[in-house]
Amino acid sequence: MGSTSILWSHYNRWHNSLQTKLMKNSTLKNIQEPARAIESVTIMTYIEIDSNESNSDNEQIASTSSTFISSQSTSSSSISPALKRKKHYHNDNICKRNSRPLDKNRCEIITQIYENTITGEIRDVSFKTLNVACFLTSNLTALLKNMYDKLLNEQETFTLKGSSWRQISLDGLQLRINKVNLLGGSSFIKLPKIIYDKKAIINKKSGLNFNCINYPTPINQIKKIEKINNVSVNVYSCDDKNQIYPLHVSNKEKSDHFDLFFFTNVSSHYCFINNFSRLVRSQRTKHISKIIICKRCFSTFSNKPNKNKPWGQHALDSHKVICQKHKLCKPVMIEPRDDEFIQFKNFNRADRIPIVIYADFECFLKPVNNIISNKTKNTHYHKPMSYGFYVKIDYNIVPIELIKKFKIPRKPIIYRGKNASKHFMNTIINISTNIYYLYKTNKSMIKLTKEEETQYINSTKCVHCLRLFNSETVMKVRDHSHFTGKYLRALCLECNFLAQNPKFVPVYFHNLSYDGHFIVRTLGCNDNDIRIIPNSSEKYISFSKQILNNFYVKFVDTFMFLPESLSNLATNLGEDKSKFREITKHFTIENIDLVIRKGVFPYEYVDCNSKLSDTTLPPRYKFYNSLTDDHISKKDYMHACNVWEKFKIKTLGEYSDLYLLTDVLILADVFENFRDICLKTFNLDASYYLTVPGFAFDAMLFYTGVKLERLKEYPMLLMIESGVRGGVCQSVRRYARANLPDVDGIIYNEKKPHVHLMYFDCVNLYGKSMLASLPLKDFEWCYDFSLDVTKIDDDAPIGYILEVDVDYPEKLHDDHCDLPFLPQNSCPPNTKINKLLTTLNNKKNYVVHYRLLKQAINNGLKLVKIHKIIKFTQSKWLAPHVEKCTSMRVLANNKFEYEFWKLLVNSVYGKCMENPRKRLNIKLVSNDQKAHQLMRKPNFIDRTIYNNNLMSLHFQKEKIKFDKPIYVGFSILDVSKTYIYNFHYNIMKNKYGKKISLLYTDTDSLIYRIKTNNFLNDLKFDLLDYFDTSNFPINHYCFSNKHKNIPGFFKDELKSETMTQFVTLRPKLYAYTVSGVEYKKAKGVKKYVRDKYMTVDHYLNILSEFSSQNADAQKDKTKQISTSCDMNIIQSNKHHVYSKTMKKIVLSANDDKRVILKGGIRTLPYGHYKLN
């Protein structure tokens, strides 16, 4: 049966069941009210069908999977017999805490498995409709049919839009019912005074009604009103501070247009806006001059004629072209409480947080065999069996007497038993409550000693903010410890006020994206507030649980600071045992060597509690790890045996406890060393931050003292956003072989010239860009459209960002075909997916930094027109930070510190590029009253139920605050491209001309095919000024430490060795051979799959098969030539964690970033004259 037929059968069951329930339970007197009679409806949806069951059972499951079951509870008696026999079913009723069901209905295909025919990625996809109000008077046939049609349309769009996805399986449909008082406009209600006083709204006590529209009218039916009446309607509302924001804005205003104001309090009401400008202008500008306002984002434009710059409707229309590309929101550039500049303010973060917690979970891996599709199945369910944590206390700050008084544990805690995650949450809440009361300790300052008084009198500047004391603006005060009463230092009055105990307890896990799932499901243990910072509906950067008042326990991921495995981090600390302070406190000297390295554990062997009673260590083969498809080494197994013997372990449970304890203490040592480096170098404690980019950005602000001006105009931000382009990644020539004499693996042809294959990488490319002059302040529009950027110096005090039209002369096409200038984000032909392409097409409305534009013009491109110019003051304000980190990297004592300094540079760029549009507005709620209240909001989108006590609510963002200096990130990206283009054209092509061709490039790396007798001789005598050869053998004649790790110099990734062949199938998918050793790259493919199951020959075979196809077959995405492989991963579903095996396409030769020519090897960029 096809997927459409399956959907239709489910649809028919929906309709009959819902209609029956509505009519059967219709006891309400007022049929205009929402249908609250469906209070006892439960939706039972079967998600995973066991293929081992008989066909008759499967049919019975299908018939009951979307059936409404009428009962007063969710007892097992309501579940069909066929479902009872299954291991897994899904009950999608409302939280038991939230006892009243809801009446907003939405339809969704619950689970479909799709496969990308190019990349092989397997994805669970669920298509959803918007929430639709259902009334006793509703036409259920039309309502459900409309939902069904929308799902089919969305499904068709997904598969046919050129994204290369195809459906593998479909599990069924789900109708989700939420009872809520809909946000609909109804009778007259009084407006807030501040809104009423604007005299911009007509608030009538009676208004229009519409046929075929439910009354009161929900926001999501506005489009229906527009369609029925052939009008356009905009709807606005106000937040808690009476600030106006958009709810619905038509893309195109028709001649018959209405602006409505939607006000909600106890009830809801629509009002007619008769003067939109008067309503919103006060929150945009205080000027009284004539302006015109964008109704989507509230940007203002002068309506006064001006010969020098765009004005009025023309300026607004130009702005709408970009504005309408983004989702509807109210942009906030700068709020009244914000400073005009971004600068360092967190001086209180120089004080170390005295108490932090390090924790970890261990799990049973219970075998399951749930086949999701013919390519994906669950293999193990992860159930917490134990947890461990260690409260790290700084006794230099908090005296041990207070620790004892408030019963803060001083030794590591290990718990193994039932309900480990709930037990952990309760324990952490109890300890955090004690810490809260400990932080409330407030001892008065004791009398200063003579030495302390002298030190205070002689202090001339604040220890925190470094400002000089004076009696008027920077008053000197005595700061003392509230734990002991002792004098600490001299601070200014402002810093002394900020120097308070933290209002949170950080709890650290390494890879919170795994352990966090077990904690999240316990956050509904009480009604206290829950805060999350989500990356997605399943993955959170951090989350917090309220303890008392404004005090929280905050769960943080150390992997967001140190993105390495815990094993590697422990190794990177080196052999200096003084670095392992917490380990040495809890183990004897003779056993230290056994525990300062990460141990091994037979995860998949321990699938139940009885295994923990084993009295001997399992044999080596029981330590097999399916996630890496590997057994532990003999050395690791001998280490485990040694640990078992030395610690006199009696059971596998005791071994598990020791393994967990060492993991927790190693994590504590690693992160405490990290905190030490941060405090020593930048006088900042990393424990105040959630990620390393957040810390790095603050450290940069503190060290440089820079003040970055905030952008004040949204159109200026939109222009810069449209010009953000990442690194160029493309396959240019898909195969090449070296031709050199006396080299193993090369069949030398003496009749052909010598050919070298070289792989170069730029040292810290973005770090090099950060050394350049970057935007700082004084952002304004410039109307000098005769500006000649070729005459502006790279380090001029004034810089520019331009929107231009540029022509690419045909005479340049052949010379520039490997790496065209000015890459652009656009869709390859016959697709709808934006990609960064290097094309030879003419550029229209291209936003570019003046340095990149200047370089393009100097290389022959023609500037046709300048549309817009942003002018700014620039300087090398970021250089001191980069130089500091670079010098510290050279002096690093171990690999841990070496990687830290590199990370600290790149993270500043990452923070500048942070996109607030991508932030999600998701709330976790454990209080039924709060859930109902939140679901009344007009921006409510969806909800997910995790258990009886917890659900998540997803909202459209009311406003987006653009508070990051995106102009810095934009400039770093464009300036970095000038270095790559300069290396390619002015160094390599200038040296070799037509004898060099580019094979592949990815952001900061280039792979070349060069015809020359001896490249290393060329390097030694002609190119050494541009290269860092510190990675060559010391006795090599090209070796030099002169440019070691200096940003902007290029390294030979082959380290003077010879690449014999190179093959690339598409971006991020290539392989090469060096001295008989194969190197394979495949984005999204597990390392063990690449190492164990993929060879260079596999790449070559795929390329050969692809090349043998005709041109039409190569373009046909249904005839993909690819190779698949099983891959083991960990995934979560509603915070339940599973190990999965999935079949993934690992190799595919289809690439649409350039035009592949006949033969399948050579390519040309789009726009090349030969393609016409």
711 part of a folded domain: no
Structure confidence at residue 265 (pLDDT) = 63
User: Pick from 942, 903, 901: which is nearest to 921 by CA?
Assistant: 942
712 part of a folded domain: no
Whether residue 286 has pLDDT greater than 90: no
User: Pick from 611, 404, 357, 376: which is nearest to 508 by CA?
Assistant: 357
Rg of the chain over Cα atoms, rounded to whole angstroms, equals 33
- The torsion of the CA quartet 157, 159, 164, 170, rounded to 10 degrees, works out to 150
The whole-angstrom separation of Cα 859 and Cα 579 is 54
**Mean pLDDT for the stretch of residues 1045-1054:** 94
Whether residue 287 has pLDDT greater than 80: no
Structure confidence at residue 220 (pLDDT) = 72
**Mean pLDDT for the stretch of residues 136-151:** 71
CA-to-CA dists, residue 1049 to 590, 798, 821, 1026, 1034, angstroms: 47, 27, 21, 6, 19
Structure confidence at residue 209 (pLDDT) = 42
Structure confidence at residue 31 (pLDDT) = 30
**Mean pLDDT for the stretch of residues 1071-1092:** 92
Helix 512-520 vs helix 420-439: crossing angle, to nearest 10: 90
Describe the strand order of the beta sheet including 735-737 as a list of residue ranges.
735-737, 1059-1066, 1069-1074, 1077-1082
Q: β-pairing, 862-875 with 774-781?
A: antiparallel
**Length of the chain in terms of residues written:** 1172
Per-residue confidence band for 133, with pLDDT thresholds at 50, 70 and 90: low
**Mean pLDDT for the stretch of residues 97-112:** 43
Shared-domain flag, residues 9 and 73: yes
Alpha helices per DSSP H over 199-284 = 222-229, 276-280
Shared-domain flag, residues 138 and 283: no
Whether residue 925 has pLDDT greater than 90: yes
**Mean pLDDT for the stretch of residues 437-465:** 94
Cβ atoms of residues 763 and 1017 within 8 Å: no
CB count within 10 Å of CB 799 equals 26
Structure confidence at residue 633 (pLDDT) = 93
Q: What are phi and psi of 1041, to 5 degrees?
A: -100, 5
pTM of the model: 0.81
Q: Residues 16-52: pLDDT tens digits?
A: 555 554 444 443 333 333 333 222 222 222 223 233 3
Shared-domain flag, residues 127 and 225: no
Identify which has the larger pLDDT, 995 or 82.
Answer: 995
Whether residue 406 has pLDDT greater than 70: yes
User: Pick from 769, 612, 797, 729: which is nearest to 1006 by CA?
Assistant: 729
Whether residue 872 has pLDDT greater than 70: yes
- Domain termination residue (choose one: 956, 982, 1010): 956
The whole-angstrom separation of Cα 345 and Cα 339 is 11
Tokens 């170098």, located at residue: 681
Amino acid in position 620: R
What is the widest separation between alpha-carbon atoms in the chain?
A: 97
Shared-domain flag, residues 364 and 251: no
Instruction: Check which CATH number belongs to the domain holding 627 and give it.
Output: 3.30.420.10
Structural tokens at position 1003: 């952001």
Shared-domain flag, residues 161 and 280: no
E strands in 813-935: 824-826, 835-837, 843-849, 862-875, 921-925
Query: Of the given ranges (143-147, 425-429, 660-664), which has the lowest mean pLDDT?
Result: 143-147
Structural tokens at position 1127: 């891959």
Cβ atoms of residues 109 and 117 within 8 Å: no
Shared-domain flag, residues 974 and 856: yes
Residue 32 domain boundaries: 3-178
Structural tokens at position 148: 């069904």
For the chain, give the percent of residues with pLDDT over 90.
Answer: 57
Q: Is 850 helix (H, G, I), strand (E, B) or coil?
A: helix
Q: What are phi and psi of 56, to 5 degrees?
A: -65, -40
Per-residue confidence band for 895, with pLDDT thresholds at 50, 70 and 90: confident
Identify which has the larger pLDDT, 934 or 495.
Answer: 495
933 part of a folded domain: yes
Whether residue 1073 has pLDDT greater than 90: yes
Cβ atoms of residues 198 and 282 within 8 Å: yes
Residues contacting residue 550 through CB under 8 Å, at least 6 positions apart: 503
Structure confidence at residue 38 (pLDDT) = 28
Amino acid in position 729: C
62 part of a folded domain: yes
Structure confidence at residue 1120 (pLDDT) = 65
Structure confidence at residue 182 (pLDDT) = 44
Find the angle CA(287)-CA(292)-CA(298) to the nearest 5 degrees: 85
**Mean pLDDT for the stretch of residues 516-543:** 94
885 part of a folded domain: no
- Half-sphere exposure at residue 165, Cβ-oriented, CA atoms within 13 angstroms: 20
Cβ atoms of residues 572 and 903 within 8 Å: no
Identify which has the larger pLDDT, 484 or 112.
Answer: 484
Tokens 């549309």, located at residue: 867
Tokens 């040296």, located at residue: 991
User: Pick from 922, 874, 924: which is nearest to 773 by CA?
Assistant: 874
Cα 994 to the chain's mean position, in Å? 42
Whether residue 662 has pLDDT greater than 60: yes
The whole-angstrom separation of Cα 158 and Cα 254 is 30
**Mean pLDDT for the stretch of residues 893-914:** 87
For the chain, give the percent of residues with pLDDT over 70.
Answer: 80
Structure confidence at residue 1144 (pLDDT) = 86
Shared-domain flag, residues 392 and 489: no
Whether residue 58 has pLDDT greater than 50: no
CA-to-CA dists, residue 714 to 330, 954, 989, angstroms: 10, 26, 42
- The torsion of the CA quartet 519, 525, 528, 532, rounded to 10 degrees, works out to 20
Structure confidence at residue 382 (pLDDT) = 96
Tokens 């028709």, located at residue: 254
Structure confidence at residue 1111 (pLDDT) = 60
Whether residue 271 has pLDDT greater than 90: no
Mean pLDDT value across the chain: 83
Find the angle CA(444)-CA(447)-CA(451) to the nearest 5 degrees: 135
1138 part of a folded domain: yes
Identify which has the larger pLDDT, 520 or 218.
Answer: 520
User: Pick from 1015, 1067, 1009, 1066: which is nearest to 1038 by CA?
Assistant: 1015
**Mean pLDDT for the stretch of residues 130-153:** 69
**Mean pLDDT for the stretch of residues 504-522:** 96
Shared-domain flag, residues 274 and 371: no
Per-residue confidence band for 164, with pLDDT thresholds at 50, 70 and 90: low
- Domain termination residue (choose one: 178, 196, 226): 178
Per-residue confidence band for 121, with pLDDT thresholds at 50, 70 and 90: low
The whole-angstrom separation of Cα 233 and Cα 257 is 6
**Number of structural domains in the chain:** 7
CA-to-CA dists, residue 2 to 157, 170, 837, angstroms: 17, 9, 38
Structure confidence at residue 124 (pLDDT) = 64
Structure confidence at residue 245 (pLDDT) = 85
Structure confidence at residue 501 (pLDDT) = 93
* H, E, C per residue of 195-261: HHCCCCEECCCCCCCCCCCCCCEEHHHHHHHHHHHCCEEEEEEECCCCCEEEEECCCCCCCCEEEEE
Shared-domain flag, residues 949 and 871: no
Whether residue 292 has pLDDT greater than 50: yes
Query: Of the given ranges (373-382, 740-749, 893-902), which has the lowest mean pLDDT?
Result: 893-902
Structure confidence at residue 1118 (pLDDT) = 53
User: Pick from 964, 770, 976, 982: which is nearest to 880 by CA?
Assistant: 770
Structure confidence at residue 1061 (pLDDT) = 96
Shared-domain flag, residues 354 and 292: no
374 part of a folded domain: yes
Structure confidence at residue 159 (pLDDT) = 58
- Domain termination residue (choose one: 303, 332, 361): 332
The whole-angstrom separation of Cα 206 and Cα 221 is 20
Structure confidence at residue 553 (pLDDT) = 98
Structure confidence at residue 197 (pLDDT) = 66
Amino acid in position 1112: D
- Beta partners for residue 342, in sequence order: 708
Per-residue confidence band for 1121, with pLDDT thresholds at 50, 70 and 90: confident
Q: Residues 810-855: pLDDT tens digits?
A: 999 999 999 999 999 999 988 888 999 999 999 999 999 999 999 9
Q: Is 432 helix (H, G, I), strand (E, B) or coil?
A: helix
Identify which has the larger pLDDT, 282 or 970.
Answer: 970
Shared-domain flag, residues 386 and 318: no
User: Pick from 365, 411, 368, 416: which is nearest to 389 by CA?
Assistant: 411
* H, E, C per residue of 824-842: EEECCCCCCCCEEECCCCC
Identify which has the larger pLDDT, 739 or 76.
Answer: 739
Q: Residues 940-951: pLDDT tens digits?
A: 888 889 998 999
Whether residue 1015 has pLDDT greater than 50: yes
Shared-domain flag, residues 433 and 320: no
Structural tokens at position 819: 């790496």
Structure confidence at residue 942 (pLDDT) = 85
Tokens 């597990």, located at residue: 1086
Identify which has the larger pLDDT, 164 or 225.
Answer: 225
Identify which has the larger pLDDT, 1053 or 207.
Answer: 1053
Per-residue confidence band for 880, with pLDDT thresholds at 50, 70 and 90: very high
Structure confidence at residue 266 (pLDDT) = 53
Per-residue confidence band for 198, with pLDDT thresholds at 50, 70 and 90: low
* H, E, C per residue of 262-313: EEECCCEEEEEECCHHHHHHHHCCCCCCCEEECCCCCCEEECCCCCCCCCHH
Per-residue confidence band for 90, with pLDDT thresholds at 50, 70 and 90: very low
Q: Is 262 exposed, middle or buried (0-12, 13-18, 19+ CB in 10 A)?
A: buried
**Mean pLDDT for the stretch of residues 735-758:** 93
Structure confidence at residue 151 (pLDDT) = 74
901 part of a folded domain: no
Tokens 């710059």, located at residue: 309
Q: Is 29 exposed, middle or buried (0-12, 13-18, 19+ CB in 10 A)?
A: exposed
Q: What are phi and psi of 1018, to 5 degrees?
A: -60, -40
